[in-house]
């Protein structure tokens, strides 16, 4: 709907948010190829709107959602890489030593990804930090 309103070449947060929501829905439905496409497009658009190097909550959300798609596909290395980027962005947004829901959630997810990758010491550190 937003693409009809704004045009197919328009980059804005409303369109990015719709793409992000579609990506999440496709992932929940198990349509991982569609989820990947929507999630990547949402991330790309959010970076275009907010600046590629800028720290922004919605960019972190898109990184996390894309990490979930990679995890569901069994690509734990890429999922962990994206989750690390998300966590770094959240720490910049909320403070390196602060703890809130976003940081705890990312730490928990990253710990589980490290566990799946056999990085048990790193997994334990993340999960312990998430629980504090």
pLDDT attached to residue 76: 98
Burial class (CB in 10 A: 0-12, 13-18, 19+), 70: buried
pLDDT attached to residue 97: 83
At residue 56, does pLDDT exceed 90? no
The 10s digit of each residue's pLDDT in 3-17 is 555 555 678 899 999
What would the CATH number be for the domain defined by 2-131? 1.25.40.10
CA 93 to CA 54: how far, in whole Å?
10
Domain ranges of the chain: 2-131
HSE-CB for 1 with a 13 A CA cutoff: 4
- Give, in order, the Cα–Cα distances in Å from 22 to each of 17, 36, 120: 9, 10, 33
pLDDT band at 88 (very low <50, low <70, confident <90, very high): very high
**SS percent in the chain: helix, strand, coil, step 5:** 80, 0, 20
């Amino acid at each position: 709907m937003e693409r009809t309103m704004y045009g197919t070449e328009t980059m804005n947060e409303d369109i990015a948010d719709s793409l992000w929501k579609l990506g999440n829905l496709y992932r929940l439905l198990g349509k991982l190829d569609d989820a990947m496409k929507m999630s990547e497009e949402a991330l790309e658009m959010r970076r275009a709107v907010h600046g590629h190097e800028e720290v922004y909550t919605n960019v972190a959300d898109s990184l996390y959602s894309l990490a979930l798609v990679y995890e569901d596909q069994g690509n734990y290395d890429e999922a962990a890489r994206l989750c690390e980027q998300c966590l770094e962005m959240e720490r910049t947004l909320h403070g390196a030593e602060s703890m809130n829901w976003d940081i705890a959630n990312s730490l928990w997810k990253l710990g589980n990804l490290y566990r799946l990758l056999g990085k048990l010491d790193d997994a334990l550190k993340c999960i312990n930090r998430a629980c504090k």
